[in-house]
Amino acid sequence: MDKHAQAGWFNRLVSRRSVLATSALGLTVPAVALGMATPESTAQTTSGVTKKVTIYAEALPGGLFGYGLARGQATIPGPILECYEGDTFEITLVNTTDQRLSIHPHGVDYTTDSDGSPLNASFNNPGETRTYIWRTKEMTATAGRRWIPGSAGYWHYHDHAMGTDHGTKGILTGLYGALIVRRRGDILPDKQFTVVFNEMAINNKSAPNTPMFEANLGQRVEWIAIGHGTQFHTFHLHAHRWADNRTGYLEGPSDPTPSIDNKDLNPGSSFGFQVIAGDGERAGTWMYHCHVQNHAEAGMVGLFLVRNADGSMPPGAQEAIDRFRGHMHSATQNSSMPGMDMEHH
């Protein structure tokens, strides 16, 4: 890890939950440092940069595990990893646990040595440090006026070795996170939220203890939705909609891409999109949840608080939060989720 990050510089500048690594020397620079707060800020960088990131896999209370960018900083989900098409990640995974584990990505290129699966003997034994190489590429032209897709997309990473050769225990207990590959020119957000539907929980928590995400009216918010486990889900966000494509934006007035506010989110799948918080004049407390009805009833519900543009609470918002926290969700959720808070107030 970069010496500045070890010294606490990174802690003071931005949350460890979101990292945009931009230096060939391994310096991890937060996305806000690239001008994300500007309404029309876009991703601009040269291709072929190597990002060196150290990730620590750590045991957490309640039988959980997490990934973090420094010792003692593991979270569920792990940090958001970002790069641009054409860049390479060098992920140094430090296993501080007594479990065999790994890190396996979706959406990028890698050799068998960096597969992160026991099939290819690609994993970290307890206490072991291992480097994984992930590569990305831009779209390329091929015969017949066709194009081969590049790596741009909202992807994810996860363990593939704890408990079984498929990493079932690691995923169940929190070893997962978001991976974003941007295309140069993409609009950058003000805020980012990662939502993982894992069995009958959100980020390994059940309502009313699920994450409450916050933004001010008018801020550009990026959502990364990821599915894990064995259950089939749908992701629904109240009062906001997005285009059902790579970015969530229409490409022009004649773009036929449908606008949606609900999308399937099944095991191993992921998608992302950007919206403007409040989408006009709708400050308030809004739900995000699985729209499979018995899943929502069982606690797969969280809150998106859109404050007024000046950061103050809009009328009725706190009352809605209080009602949510006092709501009695069904006791039918999957009690096999390690560490999941089962209290309902």
Tell whether 80 and 10 lie within a shared domain: yes
Residue ending a domain, among 127, 155, 182, is: 182
Tell whether 176 and 198 lie within a shared domain: no
Residue ending a domain, among 157, 182, 207, is: 182
Tell whether 61 and 117 lie within a shared domain: yes
Placement of tokens 């569920």 in the chain: 76
CA distance 162 to 62: 16
pLDDT at 44: 56
Tell whether 130 and 29 lie within a shared domain: yes
pTM for this one?
Answer: 0.84
pLDDT at 143: 87
Tell whether 69 and 133 lie within a shared domain: yes
User: Would strands 201-202 and 153-158 be described as parallel, antiparallel, or unpaired?
Assistant: unpaired
Sequence length of the chain is 345
Asked if residue 338 is part of any domain, the answer here is no
pLDDT at 7: 35
Tell whether 296 and 176 lie within a shared domain: no
pLDDT at 23: 38
| Greatest alpha-carbon span in the chain | 61
Asked if residue 337 is part of any domain, the answer here is no
> C-alpha distances in angstroms, 5 versus 10, 49, 73, 90, 158?
5, 19, 12, 17, 24
Tell whether 23 and 99 lie within a shared domain: yes
> Can you give the residue range of the structural domain that contains 218?
191-326
Tell whether 160 and 256 lie within a shared domain: no
Asked if residue 19 is part of any domain, the answer here is yes
pLDDT at 327: 77
Could you tell me the CATH number of the domain that includes residue 246? 2.60.40.420
Tell whether 105 and 214 lie within a shared domain: no
User: Would strands 50-60 and 88-95 be described as parallel, antiparallel, or unpaired?
Assistant: parallel
How confident is the chain (345 residues) per 10-residue block, as mean pLDDT? 36 40 36 39 67 98 98 98 97 98 98 97 98 95 88 98 97 98 96 98 96 97 98 97 95 95 97 94 95 96 97 97 85 56 41
Asked if residue 38 is part of any domain, the answer here is yes
pLDDT at 145: 81
Peptide bond before 77: cis, by omega within 30 degrees of 0? yes
Tell whether 231 and 288 lie within a shared domain: yes
- The helix (H) or strand (E) run that includes residue 59 is strand 50-60
Number of domains in the chain: 2
pLDDT at 36: 38
Tell whether 26 and 50 lie within a shared domain: yes
Backbone angles phi and psi of 236, in degrees to 5: -125, 135
pLDDT at 144: 86
> For residues 17 and 54, is the Cβ–Cβ distance under 8 A?
no
Tell whether 127 and 268 lie within a shared domain: no
